[in-house]
Amino acid sequence: MNEATVIPAAVDPILETPRLVLREIGPGDAEFIRELMNEPSFIRNIGDRGLRSSEGARRFIEEKMRPSYAAFGYGLYLVCSRDGGTPLGICGLVRREGLDHPDIGFAFLERFCGRGYAFESAKAVLGRARTVLGLDRILGVTSRTNPGSIRLLEKLGLRFSRTVALPGVGAERMLFQSDLCGPGGPKGGKP
């Protein structure tokens, strides 16, 4: 997949920012999800999902990603460029076993990192969590060896709380949290 590849939108956008469109992930996004989840940084920082084929990615989308939209009203969204629709990464909320509140998650193709897309999309997701979904707390989970993710969570207003051991995750992870209260929620009010 290259920068010129455009994946047609399966559904209407969930969120739009000045540079980005976020929408639900569908079966037509399987090749992008396969590519993203096989990037060295994804495997190193998030984990190896074992998705080596588009068919495996399609099953993963249908069985692991899409059910969250119906069950919780949120999930991970495909992040595309506003001009051209190029898929850049994923960002959204995840409901994890072992946590009492949703976790903000994000991952971008390495060639699109360092351009502010993760912050822009995550900030929009947090705004929707507060204003549309009415959520009162958001968590962030990352490994100690992922300084970029730690910096982004802190920039979004989440603060380190403690380390946690999550079911199905080998090493302990750092847990960050923010209360979505006040007029602007994180980075707009007091987190």
pLDDT digits (tens, 9 = 90+) for 20-42: 999 999 999 999 999 999 999 99
Q: How far apart are CA 49 and CA 43, in angstroms?
A: 8
Asked if pLDDT for residue 55 goes beyond 60, the answer is yes
Residue percentage of the chain with pLDDT more than 70: 88
Reduce the DSSP state of residue 87 to 3 states and report it. strand
Name the band, by pLDDT with cuts 50, 70 and 90, for residue 98: confident
In the chain, the N- to C-terminal Cα span, in Å, equals: 39
CB-CB contact of 139 with 104 (8 Å): yes
Burial classification of residue 103, based on how many CB atoms lie within 10 Å of its CB (0-12 exposed, 13-18 middle, 19 or more buried): buried
The one-letter amino acid code at 55 reads: E
Q: Which of 9-18, 129-138, 146-155 has the least mean pLDDT?
A: 9-18
Reduce the DSSP state of residue 118 to 3 states and report it. helix
Tens of pLDDT, residues 108-143: 999 999 999 999 999 999 999 999 999 999 999 999
Domains along the chain?
A: 15-135 (3.40.630.30)
